[in-house]
């Protein structure tokens, strides 16, 4: 569990505002228009009130918003994680793309979502004070 926490902490740091200052040729800044249509649609439907700061590409796409929040997309354009980077992801925003039974469970036990990770078997959330909570696709806590 400690290794998982350290990995998620590293991933959170790496894929957030840090990328703005990271000067590695493996990351290419690209225009927003070069994102796959499904990625642009996801942002426009769920994060249209956020200001895009940078769009990058390496082995995946990364959209960094003003304030440091970020979304990673795979090459198909599907979101794979949303990092708040010290910003809260509102429950009402997350309920647009996370099943309602999972959101209801989170709302009943926690006050905020800091990060969301889509996994092959469900979802993982970083909530209050960095606690990691995992759900299967049916909404059961695992």
Can you list the domains of the chain with their CATH numbers?
2-136 (3.40.1420.30)
Q: How far apart are CA 2 and CA 35, in angstroms?
A: 34
pLDDT value of position 3:
61
Q: Tell me the mean pLDDT in the region 9-21.
A: 51
Q: Is 80 helix (H, G, I), strand (E, B) or coil?
A: strand
Q: How far apart are CA 45 and CA 21, in angstroms?
A: 28
Residue range 35-69, pLDDT digits in tens:
999 999 999 999 999 999 999 999 999 999 999 99
Q: Which residue has the higher pLDDT, 130 or 108?
A: 108
* pLDDT higher than threshold 60 for residue 17: no
Residue range 64-101, pLDDT digits in tens:
999 999 999 999 999 999 999 888 999 999 999 999 99
Enclosing H/E stretch for 64: strand 61-65
pTM of the model: 0.79
């Amino acid at each position: 569990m400690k290794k998982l926490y350290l990995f998620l902490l590293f991933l959170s740091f790496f894929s957030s505002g840090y990328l703005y200052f990271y000067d590695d040729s493996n990351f290419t800044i690209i225009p927003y228009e070069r994102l796959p249509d499904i990625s642009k649609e996801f942002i426009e439907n769920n994060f249209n009130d956020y200001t895009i700061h940078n769009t990058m590409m390496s082995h995946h796409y990364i959209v960094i918003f003003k304030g440091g929040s970020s979304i990673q997309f795979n090459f198909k354009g599907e979101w794979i994680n949303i990092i708040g980077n010290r910003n809260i992801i509102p429950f009402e925003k997350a309920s647009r793309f996370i099943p309602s039974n999972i959101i209801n469970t989170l709302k009943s036990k926690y006050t905020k979502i800091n990060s969301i990770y889509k996994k092959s078997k469900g979802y993982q959330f970083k909530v209050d004070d960095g606690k990691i909570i995992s759900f299967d696709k049916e909404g059961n806590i695992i």
